[in-house]
Structure 1
């Protein structure tokens, strides 16, 4: 699959089909492998692209801090090198946040945004459940480095505890292979410490507030929120979905059934079907 030179490195992406570009953006600690069961179900007539974020998957691992701004900078370069215009974005987790950020800064190049289990606004520590709060506190503490860098905690737990059906060894392998060393796991730790809680980290909170303004005002851009149930790991539950319905312009909400946070592993067919129906309704 293609590898594209961007800035001082390269970004890998999966690609299939032809037509209007649909870009699928993964989050932490995933890669384009997340979309392997979703993409075959997306309707014909679209060019489907699923990149590995910089420092993740099979993309390059340059010597950068892997802050939100770094990911956005490399992703901007990837979009520009491929000349992508009139894009439909599909984002999960930090991929959804990067999709919102890119759309807010390139409003003339986006036709629609579908998203799920992502960061739609800043949150407070008190809004997190007891288990997610304890996990976030541990990762932000001095314990975070040995936990994520030495024990590979992020990948090992994401696809066993963050899904309803834990992955087997063969399906886990592509998620694990990009992170064989302590240093290779630094992007995962940085993402895990970047969730904007009570306004910190400030740079990420500001990016979220900025794209929140675009989400609230872009009435001409169709948006689709996919929701799920039956898992304690979900980021967008009924209360957050209701907030989205009240505060995001042009939004439709589609419930896709039981899934964990990494929903493409649990409900790929339902996700593809919801995206297909939405794009057909809006002629995307």
Structure 2
């Protein structure tokens, strides 16, 4: 496969990080229209995964911000957000903070979700919860753009990870091997993460992404995320949550945009094709060559695709 990707990707993060008080702690976030927090305007909510931050979306947001307000938080314990030492950082912990963050920073108005990795699980669970509430309040989910998304995997074979990655993730879930690799040796940040994009990382990108995880305590969220992947019905609570939002995703009429690349990691070409055939009200974009962090290899193509799709949705709503 020809390794094609955009070659002029900026490493610079030009956004101001605002801070919201959430359950007594602070969550850092990008907000392109901070003065509009109390207005019922469409907001694009960008949600990152492990082990990244709002920095992941730095080259995608500029394409979407002319159309609507854009908000991109750093999940609790990650990026520039607070890093409490007494939190287990399970999925449910992250969801409690994220849902409270949304109620604080985007208290009303329609939300367009743009999600990847664990951001997809959190965002889809929130969307499902909003659908459950929509009979008594206005529906808030304007659309869902998803890529490399987390769903329930009945088995490791269903996850279809590359052999070496499957071996690594099985090791990460071991309380001794995994903790040593991620907490003590910082393997996920320094070795595993850079392997998720084709073009490699610049020194500036490595420094920015690694800065929140310089000490062992700060790596607790990274290790816990690897233990939360819903595979073989474990962990049972996360697997049940993922099953519910995935079932809802397959039957709901909310507009969807699926972006994928080849070979991909969580969403390969064959999976993308299946979802294009089975999701309702979906459009698809093949970005070309890519692995897991598609916005690092194809930010312009991704941003333009999301912007064009979002513009149509907003116009339809008016």
Shorter-chain TM-score bucket reads: over 0.9
* Structure 2, unaligned runs of 5 or more: 1-16, 132-138
Which of 149, 172, 189 in structure 2 is aligned with 1:139? Answer: 172
SS of equivalent to 2:213? coil
Q: Is the 1:116–1:226 Cα contact (8 Å) retained in structure 2? A: yes
Q: Aligned pair in 2 of structure 1 residues 94, 184: CA closer, same or farther (>3 Å)?
A: same
Determine if contact 2:261/2:290 at 8 Å carries over to the other structure: yes
User: How many matched pairs?
Assistant: 281
Q: Give the superposition deviation at 1:280.
A: 2.4
How far residue 121 of structure 1 moved from its aligned partner, in angstroms, is: 3.4
Cross-structure match for 1:73: 96
Aligned-pair CA distance for 1:9: 1.1
Q: Radius of gyration: which is bigger?
A: 2
| Pairing 1:237–2:268 present | yes
Q: CA RMSD in A?
A: 1.6
In the alignment, structure 1 residue 224 sits paired with structure 2 residue 248: no
User: How has the CA–CA distance of structure 1 residues 123 and 255 changed in structure 2, closer, same or farther, with 3 Å as cutoff?
Assistant: farther
Check conservation: 1:162, 1:261, Cα contact below 8 A. Answer: yes
Tell me, yes or no, if the aligned pair for 2:45 and 2:112 is still in contact at 8 Å: yes
CA distance in 1, matches of 2:152, 2:311: 28
Match of 1:104 in 2: 128
- Separation in structure 1 between the aligned mates of residue 42 and residue 247 of structure 2, nearest angstrom: 26
Pairing 1:93–2:117 present: yes
Q: Unmatched 5+ residue regions in structure 1?
A: none
Q: Using the alignment, how far apart are the partners of 2:274 and 2:232 within structure 1?
A: 18
Match of 1:31 among 43, 49, 53: 53
Are 1:123 and 1:198, in contact at CA under 8 Å, matched by a contact in 2? Answer: yes
Tell me the residue number matched to 2:302. Answer: 271
2:185: which partner in 1?
151
2:145 pairs, out of 108, 114, 137, with 114
Q: Which residue of 1 aligns with 2:219?
A: 185
Residue of structure 1 in register with 2:29 after alignment:
13
Give 1:245 shift.
2.3
User: CA–CA distance in 2 between the matches of 1:172 and 1:85?
Assistant: 36
Match of residue 228 from structure 2? 194
CA distance in 2, matches of 1:23, 1:262: 17
* Distance in 2 separating the partners of 1:14 and 1:280: 21
TM-score, L = length of structure 2: 0.84
> Does the CA-based 8 Å contact 2:261-2:269 persist in structure 1?
no
